[in-house]
């Protein structure tokens, strides 16, 4: 089925937040953020800003009727700073005026006095000073201490990976207005409408039933709107409820880049031990997560890192610790992969370093350690339906890895200043929120008298195509024309207490809830048809908008059946609730069965490196990916290609830089480079793994949002191999992103 939104997206008629027609009397808010990364506020002079014609009010922490607390997991984050600031851009005040222009001008006239404190930017330093956001956690299996003795090779090193800006096309925004009886409506650019509702209720001190959050769709999110859409939404709601007027806030690109958190950078020490036939006997790592000024989602991201530190490998003895460190940068947050890419980078770095020291291709180590059926993950889950070996075998059969390696070796023989490199990147990604209690969803289905169907779920459409997948599920289930199905906006008054659309699980959870609701409606309709035809409902099938009895078409159409059900006073509305079965996790033992299933895949990446300039081209990305039984191959292709490119960007060109004062140096598109069409791989080909999907996923499909991102990690190691071919005396280090500047230094490093 075609994505029903494809036409309206490309013709510009799909409504995003900024397209909502504004009510008369709408006011506009601009946030005044801290000009300092760390300090005590000793004075705040709002007089000049207030005096600006067109300014209605300036809000600070003292205007909050409820709690000045927007922490999603931990109560450690204020909506407005009180007496201290912890990062540059931290909201201090909200200026509300007749126009955004006026509000911005007035915000520039706010005079804040800050007694500066030294900003802490390095997570290792934060750790030394005891600045942790939450208690550290360790996952372990077997016994690394004794295992080291049994290893023939033990290799140690350090791996650093950088932040990443989400760069969703649509910046954070919200539009809020009072409805009646002290209630408020918020249109928010959030992945988590129920979170916005809960926090707004806390800040405004009104019950949740008086806060209605509505999301039509987002112009991209990538995790950046899971937690960090909240402050904008709550500020708009606060101003609207106090001023009794509609208030709109849309962050400028610069404000969005400076104020909101990114992917967490990690700095890690690792140790890996191998036998002489390259089996990894032991792996240990201590990882410093740059969690920054407030916890935000850091605890959950730390957890997903721990779950993915052994990627697609079985390692019998492991011990991995993550420290979540408090620094003076904007609160880092969810970003596609949610900590897993950072964890996988470390194990791949350890393997690459071992390979370099043993002077063998890394893929020999990778292949020797792939997970097998019934192996144990270090968190206690038994690996089932393991596909990594098959992915690799299919990849080899389809794309002939040996030949690619041979071609590259020959190319490197023939050329002096151009070199090629190659890497293999296996991926094993767990599906389910690691917080078991979040794995449930609801769907509310109305069949209207004319046979059209309205569906509300907790899923937020953010360009990933979840609405199309849900519509497809409904079309298949009711066997009606796609034109009959409408996916409604995501709204907290229709579907309550939802989890954010995240963890690649939007379609799985909400689609299953939709199946539950839909099947109940179908049972009722079959009952009506049975009454109409004087037969048992078991003889009835609904197909192609017609009622079939014992496989023979009857005269009754879908429309007639629905109309008849309505006249017979049968309910045409149903609410479905789905909770992922089986999963659990014991945080005291750090063991359990946290994931419903795993998604597997393997990629080969080749690069061409210009050794005079340090610039490079990603030549080929060849993938075998386990889509399960794809619900929509076009949508899944978009997710796969976009994920790969975003992963390559993180590993190669996207560099978030701060100066020593904690000022972001890369706060515009002229200083922050994301992959464009020119940096896309010349060839990106993939095959779907030929396999039956396992039971728990939606109609045997598999989650697609995050897993492909991690194929991009291979770009880093492919580049390293090209550098080593040119400069054999270089000892590989692991400091991502590997920008052309860094490549050039390494090409001529003679240590």
Shortest distance, position 273 Cβ to ligand MOS, whole Å: 32
Q: Is 149 exposed, middle or buried (0-12, 13-18, 19+ CB in 10 A)?
A: exposed
Task: Give the binding range for ligand MOS (CB under 6 A) out of 111-119, 333-341, 418-426, 570-578.
Answer: 333-341
Nearer to ligand MOS, 298 or 739 (CB): 298
CA angle 103, 331, 202 (to 5 degrees): 70
Q: Which of 87, 314, 335, 377 binds ligand MOS (CB under 6 A)?
A: 335
- Out of 212, 654, 655, 706, which one is annotated catalytic? 706
Shortest distance, position 413 Cβ to ligand MOS, whole Å: 43
Task: Give the binding range for ligand MOS (CB under 6 A) out of 331-339, 471-479, 521-529, 663-671.
Answer: 331-339
Q: Which of 502, 562, 713, 723 binds ligand MOS (CB under 6 A)?
A: 502
Widest pairwise Cα distance in the chain: 88
- Give the residue at shortest CB distance from ligand MOS: 223
Shortest distance, position 462 Cβ to ligand MOS, whole Å: 9
Residue whose C-alpha is closest to residue 369's, from 309, 310, 305: 310
706 included as an active-site residue: yes
Shortest distance, position 222 Cβ to ligand MOS, whole Å: 7
The string of DSSP letters for 346-407 reads: HHHHHHHHHHHHHTS-HHHHHHHTB--TTPBPTTSPBP-S--HHHHHHHHHHHH-HHHHHHH
223 binds ligand MOS (CB under 6 A): yes
Task: Give the binding range for ligand MOS (CB under 6 A) out of 45-53, 270-278, 334-342, 717-725.
Answer: 334-342
Shortest distance, position 503 Cβ to ligand MOS, whole Å: 4
Length of the chain: 751
d(CA 133, CA 293) in angstroms, rounded, equals 8
Question: By rule CB under 6 A, what count of residues binds ligand MOS?
Answer: 9
Residue whose C-alpha is closest to residue 443's, from 353, 351, 521, 339: 521
256 binds ligand MOS (CB under 6 A): no
User: Quick one: which H or E segment has residue 582?
Assistant: none
Nearer to ligand MOS, 157 or 337 (CB): 337
Sheet holding 546-549, edge to edge: 540-543, 546-549, 552-557
343 binds ligand MOS (CB under 6 A): no
Distances (CA, A) of 420 to 488, 518, 613, 715, 750: 50, 54, 14, 12, 20
Site for ligand MOS in 171-210 (CB under 6 A): 191
Query: Residue for token digits 């404190």?
Result: 117
Shortest distance, position 338 Cβ to ligand MOS, whole Å: 4
Residue whose C-alpha is closest to residue 601's, from 311, 170, 301: 311
226 binds ligand MOS (CB under 6 A): yes
Nearer to ligand MOS, 35 or 638 (CB): 638
Shortest distance, position 729 Cβ to ligand MOS, whole Å: 40
Token output for 624? 């075998």
Token output for 438? 């979040």
338 binds ligand MOS (CB under 6 A): yes
Task: Give the binding range for ligand MOS (CB under 6 A) out of 332-340, 510-518, 529-537, 592-600.
Answer: 332-340
Contact between 132 and 298 (Cβ < 8 Å): no
Token output for 441? 């969803």
Residue 447, Ramachandran bin (φ over 0: left; ψ between -120 and 50: alpha; else beta): beta
Shortest distance, position 480 Cβ to ligand MOS, whole Å: 32
Residue whose C-alpha is closest to residue 192's, from 308, 73, 360: 73
Gyration radius of the chain's alpha carbons: 27
Nearer to ligand MOS, 266 or 338 (CB): 338
User: Quick one: which H or E segment has residue 648?
Assistant: helix 633-652
Nearer to ligand MOS, 4 or 511 (CB): 511
Nearer to ligand MOS, 139 or 338 (CB): 338
Shortest distance, position 455 Cβ to ligand MOS, whole Å: 22
Token output for 178? 């009072």
The string of DSSP letters for 405-423 reads: HHHHHHHHHH-SSEEEEEE
d(CA 286, CA 318) in angstroms, rounded, equals 11
Tell me how crowded residue 577 is: count the other CB atoms within 10 A of its CB.
12
Shortest distance, position 677 Cβ to ligand MOS, whole Å: 25
Shortest distance, position 506 Cβ to ligand MOS, whole Å: 9
Nearer to ligand MOS, 227 or 319 (CB): 227
Shortest distance, position 599 Cβ to ligand MOS, whole Å: 14
Site for ligand MOS in 70-129 (CB under 6 A): none
Upstream peptide bond of 171 is cis (omega within 30 degrees of 0): no
Shortest distance, position 717 Cβ to ligand MOS, whole Å: 23
Is the torsion defined by CA of 429, 435, 439, 442 positive or negative? Answer: negative
Contact between 501 and 258 (Cβ < 8 Å): no
Nearer to ligand MOS, 54 or 638 (CB): 638
User: Quick one: which H or E segment has residue 435?
Assistant: none
Q: Is 130 exposed, middle or buried (0-12, 13-18, 19+ CB in 10 A)?
A: exposed
336 binds ligand MOS (CB under 6 A): yes
CB contact set of 1 (below 8 Å; sequence gap of 6+): 468, 471, 472, 475, 482, 632
Query: Residue for token digits 């699980």?
Result: 505
Q: Which of 503, 583, 622, 715 binds ligand MOS (CB under 6 A)?
A: 503
d(CA 454, CA 518) in angstroms, rounded, equals 11
d(CA 413, CA 748) in angstroms, rounded, equals 19
32 binds ligand MOS (CB under 6 A): no
Task: Give the binding range for ligand MOS (CB under 6 A) out of 181-189, 193-201, 330-338, 707-715.
Answer: 330-338
Token output for 217? 């769709």
Q: Is 129 exposed, middle or buried (0-12, 13-18, 19+ CB in 10 A)?
A: exposed
Binding site for ligand MOS (CB under 6 A): 191, 223, 226, 334-336, 338, 502-503
Just list the catalytic residues. 706
């Amino acid at each position: 089925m075609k994505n029903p939104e494809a036409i309206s997206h490309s013709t510009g008629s799909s409504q995003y937040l900024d397209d909502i027609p504004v009510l008369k009397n709408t006011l506009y808010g601009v946030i005044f953020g801290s000009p300092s990364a760390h300090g005590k506020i000793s004075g705040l002079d709002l007089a000049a800003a207030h005096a600006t014609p067109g300014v209605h009010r300036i809000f600070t922490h003292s205007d909050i009727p409820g709690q000045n607390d927007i922490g999603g997991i931990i109560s450690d984050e204020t909506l407005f700073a009180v007496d201290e600031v912890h990062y540059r851009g931290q909201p201090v005040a909200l200026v509300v005026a007749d126009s955004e222009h006026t509000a911005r001008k007035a915000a520039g006239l706010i005079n804040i006095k800050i007694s500066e404190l030294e900003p802490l930017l390095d997570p290792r330093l934060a750790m030394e000073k005891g600045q942790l956001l939450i208690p550290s956690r360790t996952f372990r299996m077997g016994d690394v201490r004794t295992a080291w003795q049994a290893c023939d090779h033990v290799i140690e090193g350090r791996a650093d990976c950088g932040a990443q800006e989400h760069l969703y096309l649509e910046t954070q925004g919200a539009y809020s207005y009072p409805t009646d009886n002290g209630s408020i409506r918020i249109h928010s650019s959030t992945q988590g409408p129920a979170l916005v509702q809960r926090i707004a209720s806390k800040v405004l001190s009104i019950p949740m039933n008086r806060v209605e959050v509505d999301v039509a769709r987002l112009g991209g999110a990538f995790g950046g709107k899971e937690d960090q859409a909240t402050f904008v939404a709550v500020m708009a709601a606060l101003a609207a409820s106090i001023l009794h007027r509609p208030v709109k806030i849309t962050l400028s690109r610069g404000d969005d880049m400076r104020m909101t958190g990114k992917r967490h950078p990690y700095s890690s020490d690792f140790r890996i031990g191998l036998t002489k036939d390259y089996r990894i006997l032991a792996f240990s790592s201590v990882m410093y997560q740059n969690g920054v000024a407030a916890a935000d989602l850091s605890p959950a991201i730390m957890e997903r890192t721990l779950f993915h530190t052994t990627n697609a490998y079985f390692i019998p003895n492991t011990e991995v610790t993550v420290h979540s460190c408090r620094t003076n940068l904007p609160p880092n947050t969810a970003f596609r992969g949610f900590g897993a890419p950072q964890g996988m980078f470390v194990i791949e770095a350890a393997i690459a370093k071992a390979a370099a020291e043993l002077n063998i291709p890394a893929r020999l180590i990778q292949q020797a350690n792939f997970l097998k059926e019934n192996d144990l993950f270090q968190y206690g889950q038994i690996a089932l339906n393991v596909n990594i070996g098959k992915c690799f075998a299919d990849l080899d059969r389809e794309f002939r890895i040996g030949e690619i390696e041979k071609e590259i070796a020959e190319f490197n023989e023939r050329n002096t200043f151009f070199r090629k490199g190659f890497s293999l990147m296996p991926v094993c990604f767990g599906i389910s929120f690691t917080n078991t209690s979040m794995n449930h969803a609801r769907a509310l289905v109305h069949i209207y008298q004319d046979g059209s169907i309205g569906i509300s779920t907790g899923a937020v459409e953010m360009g990933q195509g979840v609405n199309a997948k849900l519509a497809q599920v409904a079309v298949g289930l009711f066997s009606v024309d796609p034109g009959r199905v409408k996916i409604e906006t995501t709204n907290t008054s229709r579907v309550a207490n939802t989890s954010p659309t995240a963890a690649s699980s939007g379609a799985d959870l909400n689609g299953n809830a939709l199946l539950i609701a839909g099947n109940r409606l179908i049972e009722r309709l079959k009952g009506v048809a049975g009454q109409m035809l004087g037969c048992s409902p078991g003889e009835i099938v609904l197909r192609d908008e017609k009622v079939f009895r014992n496989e023979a078409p009857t005269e009754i159409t879908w429309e007639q059946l629905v109309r008849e059900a309505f006249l017979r006073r049968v309910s045409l509305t149903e609410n479905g609730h789905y909770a992922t079965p089986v999963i659990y996790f014991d945080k005291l033992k750090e063991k359990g069965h946290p994931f419903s299933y795993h998604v597997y895949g393997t990629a080969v990446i080749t690069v061409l490196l210009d050794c005079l300039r340090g610039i490079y081209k990603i030549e080929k990305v060849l993938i075998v990916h386990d889509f399960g039984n794809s619900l929509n191959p076009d949508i899944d292709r978009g997710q796969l290609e976009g994920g790969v490119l975003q992963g390559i960007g993180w590993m190669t060109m996207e560099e978030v830089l701060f100066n020593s004062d904690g000022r972001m140096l890369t706060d515009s598109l002229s200083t922050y480079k994301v992959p464009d069409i020119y940096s896309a791989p010349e060839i990106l080909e993939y095959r779907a793994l030929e396999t039956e999907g396992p039971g728990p996923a939606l109609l045997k499909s598999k989650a697609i949002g995050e897993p492909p991102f991690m194929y991009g990690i291979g770009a880093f190691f492919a580049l390293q191999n090209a550098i080593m071919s040119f400069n054999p005396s270089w000892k590989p280090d692991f400091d991502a992103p590997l920008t052309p500047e860094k490549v050039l230094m390494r090409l001529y490093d003679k240590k």
